[in-house]
Structure 1
Amino acid sequence: MDLFSFVECAKETRSLKALFDLLVSCSSEQGFSQVAYGSLTDTGPARLPEYLRAAVTVNFPSDWCERYSERGYNAIDPVVRRTTMLSTPFLWDRLADQHQLQPGETRVLSEAREAGLKHGVTVPLFGPFGRLSVVSFASSFDDADPEHRLSHLNALAWQFHHALAEIAPLSEGRCQIQVALSEREKDCLRWVEQGKSSWEIGVILKVSENTVNFHLKNAMRKLETNSRTHCVVKAIRLGLI
């Protein structure tokens, strides 16, 4: 299922369970059938959709979830710790190479692999005022290729996050903000959704790489996003592209 199909199906969901099941179904097509979603902060105005109450929805193996809870692994889990430090998606396989892990952190990763979570991708989801949620995708396959699936899983996570905000209870005072993108900004975002780089988009549209970056930055500013993927996701959800 591509990103646009996920958006259309998500619009028909009316519950967290249905939306989470849809996310799992889509990520399973990428070889990552085990998913966890949660909020790492529980502060902020309740009137904003980004400020959902802290909760965890997970389909990781039950025995691993029980052990994780009983041993208080959330306090030493390197994935949780790095989520608060990193602004971009990251691979579990790279944590030991890119960071100096403590013995307890290494143990958590090792036991997770033994429990069937052999490869993983985590997507930090930053909102206004320091709000932070997270989606983690895990695979039980030895030959899973998280690096190749990273871009698609990142986009799925953001789409899920926005769709969940839409079905969450909203206050009476919330209003929709109208955003207008130029045709060139829309063109650039459509090609970003297809996985093209700024240079490649420039070749396609017959403009310079700097011009492409200019349009993308304008779109990100208008949609109040801090990454290209987030911008594409929000533009799709708003029906702008």
Structure 2
Amino acid sequence: MDLFSFIECAKQTRSSKALFDLLVSCASEEGFSEVAYGALTFAEPPRLLGYLPPTGTVNFPPDWCRRYFERNYRVIDPVVRRTPTLRGPFVWDELAKLEPGEKRVLDEAKEAGLKHGMSVPLLGAFGRLSVVSFASPFDDADPQYRMSHLKTLAWHFHLAFAEIARLSNSSCKRKDILSEREKDCLRWVAEGKSSWETGKILKVSDNTVNFHLKNVMRKLGTTNRTQAIVKAIRLNLIEF
């Protein structure tokens, strides 16, 4: 699919999953079939949100995704760390002055099948920073050569994704705004805390935490915690 066709199809797509699949299809034609899209927190240091990304916005190898979050690599990932300072697209292999932990993340990513990669920082509403990363399982892949095309794909995907989110968010009614306690529970779960840990922090039982989280999912029209976190962030109901 050429770039013009991608842009036209992206504008007409009303499903975030279908839009992501479209991006993967086009990137695969460039030799970069592994794609991830995510938002960074406002915390210092910058990091990805503290939960496994929705399957609709990442197709990196599942084993690598689990290892990445279980070992808390989001805190030392050089791609995430560099994204706020490198406003243009960058190639992973060209990142300089890596700390030992950062180098370990990239080395293990290669072992997991992400042989060569590049990332595109993307600014959104309220100054929120997102990033699209493209990776290839092929040893001879050249992200520098494909950078211009992949950057353009990333930007148009980002714009279309934001429009889908806007249309989805507009369907939420004022009566569904979360209570402060519901927001508290959701914030801590977004940071990777379990219901039990959240209960200890808030000095309530884990059953109470689960009760509030169920209310959150009902109000936001989601079916699991991850979806609720993503939607709450898009609606600016919780911040990081």
TM-score bracket relative to the smaller structure: 0.5 to 0.7
Q: Are the structure 2 counterparts of residues 114 and 93 from structure 1 closer, same or farther at C-alpha, using a change threshold of 3 Å?
A: same
Work out which of the residue numbers 148, 154, 157 in structure 2 matches 1:151: 148
Q: Are the structure 2 counterparts of residues 42 and 78 from structure 1 closer, same or farther at C-alpha, using a change threshold of 3 Å?
A: closer
Residue in structure 2 matched with residue 31 of structure 1 by the alignment: 31
Question: Shift in Å at residue 21 of structure 1?
Answer: 0.2
Q: Secondary structure in 2 aligned to 1:68?
A: helix
Residue in structure 1 matched with residue 114 of structure 2 by the alignment: 117
Residue in structure 1 matched with residue 78 of structure 2 by the alignment: 78
Question: Shift in Å at residue 170 of structure 1?
Answer: 4.8
Q: Secondary structure in 2 aligned to 1:84?
A: coil
Identity between Structure 1 and Structure 2 (%): 72
Q: Secondary structure in 2 aligned to 1:59?
A: coil
Question: Shift in Å at residue 42 of structure 1?
Answer: 6.9
TM-score (norm 1): 0.62
Paired amino acid for 1:143? D
Paired amino acid for 2:9? C
Work out which of the residue numbers 95, 104, 115 in structure 1 matches 2:101: 104
Aligned CA-pair RMSD: 1.9
1:143-182 to 2 correspondence within 5 Å? 143-168=140-165, 169-171=168-170
User: How many residues are matched?
Assistant: 159
Residue in structure 2 matched with residue 235 of structure 1 by the alignment: none
Residue in structure 2 matched with residue 68 of structure 1 by the alignment: 68
Work out which of the residue numbers 126, 150, 154 in structure 1 matches 2:123: 126
Deviations 1:90-118 (A, max 9, x none): 000101xxx21110000000000000000
Q: Secondary structure in 2 aligned to 1:37?
A: strand
Deviations 1:142-181 (A, max 9, x none): 0001111000000000000001111112549xxxxxxxxx
Segments of 5+ residues of structure 2 without an aligned counterpart are: 44-52, 172-240
Paired amino acid for 1:70? E
Paired amino acid for 1:106? K
Q: Give the Cα separation in 2 of the matches to 1:23 and 1:80.
A: 21
